[in-house]
Amino acid sequence: MKTATIGYPRIGAHREWKKALEAYWKKDITEETLLSDLKQIRTENLKKQQGKGIDFIPSADASWYDHMLDTALSLNIIPKRFRDLEKTPGLETYFAIARGNAGAVASEMTKWFNTNYHYIVPEFDSGTLPALVNNRWSQAYLEAKAEGIETTPVLVGPYTFVSLSKGVDSISEQVETLKPLYIEVLQKLEKDGAQWVQIDEPIVSTELDQAQMKSIVALYNDIKAAVPGLKLKLQTYFSSVAQWSILKEAKVDGFGLDFVHDGEVQLKELKDAGFPEGKTLFAGVLNGRNIWKTDLYEAKELVSALSSISSDVVLQPSCSLLHVPVTLQTEDKLPDWLRNGLSFADQKLEELIALKELINGDATKADQQQSAIKQLQEAPGRQSTAVREAVAALSDFDRSTPFEARKLAQKDAFNLPLLPTTTIGSMPQTKEVRQERLQWRKKEKSDQEYEQFIQAETKRWIEIQEELDLDVLVHGEFERTDMVEYFGEKLNGFAFTRFGWVQSYGSRCVKPPVIYGDVAFDEPMTVKESVYAQSMTSRPVKGMLTGPITIINWSFVRTDVPRRDVALQIALALREEVEQLEANGITMIQVDEPALREGLPLKASAHEAYLKDAVEAFKAATSTVKETTQIHTHMCYSDFDAIISSIDALDADVISIETSRSHGELVSAFEKYNYDKGIGLGVYDIHSPRVPSTDEMVANIERALTVLDPEQFWVNPDCGLKTRGETETVQALEKMVEAAVKVRTAL
Ligand code: GLN
Ligand code: ZN
């Protein structure tokens, strides 16, 4: 039995990749140095996989920034505004598309399926002339070959690529224009001597209809006919294949399938419809997106079921290891019982080998692993009876007063003007703020000194907000680096790694917390900061929390407890915080859920169950307050069609969402839905330092008021202001208040 990886982390064990990229952008290193640094990381990654004994090692899975952008540039799909930047598009064009330049905004960035990885959205327009201008796949294959390593080059398949692009009228027609280019790439690889290539088509795990699936089969039959000597592995992940009985007819040489996410469905489909004879089943049996050690005995059983369906099974992770950190080797601060139960990318490679050995009759490593898992299972904090009972007892998720009545009570209690102005929570986290925190973490500043600094900053910003005449204030979130980490550090059941970085977008990496135990409230997390801020003003200051779904979606979550229960555990801990804020005089509490949408499963048929759990978790956290306590929430996207009724079901008194870049579209979504609760559609974009004009914001407000009632509309920026500078923030907010007043007085 053989083993395969289908993608390996690009960032390096110490984020060498990030450092190289950022040094290049700052012009600290030359293009030549950048390229050689990246090559070194690639080569080390290949050698590592070879050294562990993996049979099928991927190449071309590395990237300068993002694999979708690599593909686009190689196929000459360049947005119009960047087309003439260079004679031969190179790094300058590439990074301009990714990050924008002085003359043009960057391409849109969006989440890769239901992960927290963001890809750059390719843009087609009438002037797009697809052509193979750079065969990066052949280069990667030959580069590895020169190191003596035979690899499987990885490509994003044309159907997925086009489906995820903008400006495409007909997916199938656009795919036809790319087909000859893919064939050209593959013919070169065939000549280079490649034996296998892996073509990723995760789109087949979304809800495609029969006609679409048939056109994918036809596409691969055409491709295969053009490269008879090259073996094609059609790879998908994140869910089961939507129409397996159709897809299995594709004349490729192997299928890579995910048996972890919706694995039972996938297995059943294979049992029912069969697996084509003589082809290789690349079986994703280890979770490529989580960091827990696998029960190898369970995996062995799965493999034995698969072996009765196909005579050629290759063991692999469920998806690219891009989604997990590189290695546990440097995690010297975790307790043994936890560390030994974890598996990062390098450990997953070892697990593949251990599984292979177990199947071949040598249980040594598998048994070691089994005892580590057992030790973790029995560890302190893993299971709290009180927490389990509280979750089991949850039954009523509703507020005692319905929105209609709360609205009136809150109107009296707050007496806000029409179109009240507010912000989303964070104020500029200047270099000074970050430096102060760093010194405190390094123990160069005492707790008291740090606290004093945070208070002074909060006070200064309460004064600024009063001066600006905002109606509802925030404390500014100066005490937080990250909105999930901050709460994770204060709740029971969370652990933090030292170097557990995962690429989020471009050079930006995140270090997701690890939820290993039952989550419980320990002590107040935000009360001191909120109460302090509120004590300095007579205007309401919003309490500011991160919601349960966002916390869970941005963490590595234990798998021995249902996800829904983990979310409810977090919700109950947050409920305690909400109640303490209320008891201490905080009258408005915002619970942010920016990650609610990204957790949507790949298949629409699974959305309802996910959303029901999400709504209940949010309500469990927020529903026990009195009728005059106003619950706010915030989300960072405007793609609401699939979820608007769930947003409504959250029963938050006020929601703020990011919309300034897509105002027209969004307003119409609300027009159709007839949303009646408080709502603030962001009136300016916070992603750029540009200060918008009053008139622009007036126009945004007026457009919204064509479908929303002035009684329900709030005026706020798109998102938190922590990445902005102070001067531009004050100027923009000044104009925002001016715009609100202008529209308000004309009403
Ligand atoms: N309250 C948070 C902030 O303002 C919200 C951040 C977010 O939506 N991602 O920073
Ligand atoms: Zn936001």
At 603-640, the pLDDT tens digits run 999 999 999 999 999 999 999 999 999 999 999 876 77
Is 598 labelled as part of a ligand binding site? Answer: yes
Top mutation candidate among 423, 424, 542, 716 for ligand 1, by most atoms within 8 Å of CB: 424
42 C-alpha to center of ligand 1: Å? 35
The pTM for the full model equals 0.95
**Phi and psi, residue 456, nearest 5°:** -65, -40
Instruction: Tell me if 632 CB under 6 Å of ligand 1.
Output: no
637 C-alpha to center of ligand 2: Å? 8
For residue 663, pLDDT over 60 is answered with: no
Q: What is the mean pLDDT of the chain?
A: 96
Q: What is the mean pLDDT of residues 502-513?
A: 94
Instruction: Tell me if 722 CB under 6 Å of ligand 1.
Output: yes
Q: Which two tokens stand for residue 421?
A: 């102005």
Q: What is the mean pLDDT of residues 724-729?
A: 95
Is 509 labelled as part of a ligand binding site? Answer: yes
pLDDT of residue 666: 67
- Nearest-CA residue for atom 5 of ligand 1: 720
Closest Cα to residue 535, out of 469, 423, 458, 471? 458
| Greater pLDDT, 110 or 293 | 293
Alpha helices in 83-170 (DSSP H): 91-99, 136-146, 158-163
598 C-alpha to center of ligand 1: Å? 16
Tokens 């090259």, residue located: 230
pLDDT of residue 661: 65
Q: Is 687 a catalytic residue?
A: yes
Residues 6+ apart with CB under 8 A from 494: 488, 513, 514, 515, 516, 517, 519, 555
- pLDDT tens for 409-463 read 999 999 999 999 999 999 999 999 999 999 999 999 999 999 999 999 999 999 9
ipTM of the complex: 0.99
Atom of ligand 1 nearest to the CA of 635: 8
182 C-alpha to center of ligand 2: Å? 38
Instruction: Tell me if 636 CB under 6 Å of ligand 1.
Output: yes
Instruction: Tell me if 543 CB under 6 Å of ligand 1.
Output: no
Is 714 labelled as part of a ligand binding site? Answer: no
What residues does 634 pair with on adjacent strands? 592, 656
Top mutation candidate among 111, 461, 479, 483 for ligand 1, by most atoms within 8 Å of CB: 483
Instruction: Tell me if 594 CB under 6 Å of ligand 1.
Output: yes
**Phi and psi, residue 18, nearest 5°:** -60, -45
